[in-house]
C-alpha cells in the first residue's frame, strides 16, 4: 500500500482519503447546529440560491437554503442535506451581502 501522507490514527479502519491536514493559518471556525429535516420538493432555486418564480425567473431579493429547498422527491438518502445546507447557506449569504452593498462600491 502506498502512503499519501494523509492519515488518521486510532481508528478501526483506514480513512486516509478523508484526512486532510489543515496546516497553514489563519484558522476560522463557527458553531454549526444540524437538523436533518427537509421538505419533499421544496421551493425551486438556481445555482446562486435565488428562489425562482413559476416561470423559472429569479425573484429579486429572495434566496433560499437548507430544508425548505427540498431536493428529494421519493426517498431520502440520510445526512445528504447537511452539506447542501451549508454550501447553499453560505452562497445565499454571500449573494445577499453583495446585493446590500451600495451600487458602485
Q: Is 90 exceeded by the pLDDT of residue 58?
A: yes
Q: Is residue 5 part of a domain?
A: no
Number of domains comprising the chain: 1
CB atoms within 10 A of CB 63: 22
Of 66 and 56, which is predicted with more confidence? Answer: 56
Whether 84 is covered by a domain: the verdict is yes
The rounded distance, in Å, linking the Cα atoms of 53 and 60 is: 10
User: Is 62 or 36 the better-scoring residue by pLDDT?
Assistant: 62
Domain residues for 91?
50-100
Q: Does residue 86 sit within a domain? A: yes
For residues 51 and 29, what is the distance between their CA atoms, to the nearest angstrom?
A: 28
Average pLDDT over residues 11-38: 71
The per-residue pLDDT for range 67-93, each reduced to its tens digit, is 777 666 556 666 666 777 788 888 888
Q: Is the pTM of this model over 0.85?
A: no
Amino acid at each position: 500500500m502506498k502512503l499519501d501522507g494523509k492519515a488518521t490514527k486510532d481508528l478501526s479502519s483506514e480513512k486516509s482519503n478523508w484526512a486532510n491536514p489543515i496546516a497553514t493559518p489563519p484558522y476560522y471556525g463557527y458553531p454549526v447546529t444540524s437538523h436533518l429535516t427537509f421538505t419533499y420538493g421544496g421551493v425551486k432555486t438556481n445555482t446562486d440560491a435565488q428562489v425562482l418564480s413559476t416561470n423559472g425567473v429569479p425573484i429579486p431579493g429572495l434566496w433560499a437554503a437548507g430544508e425548505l429547498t427540498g431536493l428529494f422527491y421519493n426517498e431520502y438518502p440520510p445526512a445528504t442535506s447537511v452539506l447542501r445546507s451549508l454550501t447553499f447557506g453560505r452562497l445565499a449569504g454571500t449573494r445577499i451581502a453583495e446585493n446590500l452593498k451600495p451600487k458602485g462600491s
